[in-house]
Structure 1
Amino acid sequence: MNDVSSYVHPYAPGAQPGPDTLLLVWDAPNLDMGLGSILGGRPTSNYRPRFDAVGRWLLDRGEALSKELGEELVPEATVFTNVIPGSADMIRPWVEALRNVGFAVFAKPKLQEDTDVDPDMLAHIRRRHGEGVLRGVVVASADGQNFKDDLEELAAAGLPVTVLGFHEHAAWAVASESLEFVDLEEIPGVFREPLPRVNLDQLPDMGAWLQPFRPLAALSK
């Protein structure tokens, strides 16, 4: 029986370049913010993304891309997250669950307000591209300001590039002619319950009520 604690991800920093890969990088702080905006508060377990569903989706895409390119690809997935000082015990079960599913995790302490993981995500993508193993990339984020130019540059070089996120917050990707956009809720099984979303671009003829995110009385506090 293999000891999973001794398993080393083939793409760990410092490791030799591995086989051709379809790379997924997940911007946890950004997507959590987008999900909270849709829900109007902190997500409950029913509205947390199921990473096993995301993993199966990535495997299916990797298999399809392998057939298209005529070469075997190995999917690689990493979740990038910040850890607020003092919150390690709260986040540890989530990190361990991700690793058990097969995702790598890059965790960075949130020492200042602008201590983001976006530069680390971009550096990881560039490292894989520089190693010559990148055959496709999926970025789960709505942060077009930091990712748009780099992703469109990769797409212009012939790499298939997909953005995962929420269409309400990723107009830059939805409108792009070179990037594919996939709404997270389109992935089968990724949410246990449908998200309470209202698309302002596709309102019902009779209109729709948009409830406040918090009571008006909160202004007096």
Structure 2
Amino acid sequence: MISYLKGDPVAIIRRPPRTVLILEVQGIGYEVQIPPRWLPVPSSTQGDGEGEKCFAPTNEGTLIQVFTHQQIREDHMILYGFPTAAERDLFRQLIAVTGIGAQLAIALLNTFSLEQLVEAIISENTKVLIQTPGVGKKTAERIILELKTQLGQWRKTAAIPAPAVGGLDPTIQEDVELTLLALGYEPAEIWEAISHLHQDPRLQQNPTPEDWIKAAISWLSQS
């Protein structure tokens, strides 16, 4: 089993719906599927249409560490890679859920940060989880059913912090999240906005959904 690789990222290949990192380690090029949001993609590309596209990563020439999960099938081997051991471990827990394959687990980790995804599962927030492409209500409920308890324990032992929402009333937070999701904002953007706006004393004094939504939209438009 390969726990991690450390090498030079020489290419990022888009093979819809997959994103593959070519990592050179001591003269050997490893193909590692990664969450698309992990490594930044520059503007220069090779390829056209809807097929394969190849990018030179912006941090080429800099060694990076990739924590890997190795999946062996009858006809080939696949390596999945993540920036931290915790994300790799969460991926392993996700693919252990009934009906959750590697691509759906990658999609979940690509939609949310580690802290956000764990919090959404523990807090049974199906409305947030279904924002992930390919995840419907029943799938979200199954993930929660099978992982809620063990992720609650794992978050403590792995010292994974909860997203800082500062004790915002859950009803208000849900209204804010659903409204912003409907407006097209990404879950990661929304949680970042809520965390930032908790520092605003005016919102703490007058915690209404409308004020939080207006403030969040204003902050997001400036970010």
Fold match, TM over 0.5?
A: no
By relative contact order (CA 8 Å, sep 6+), the higher-ranking structure is: 1
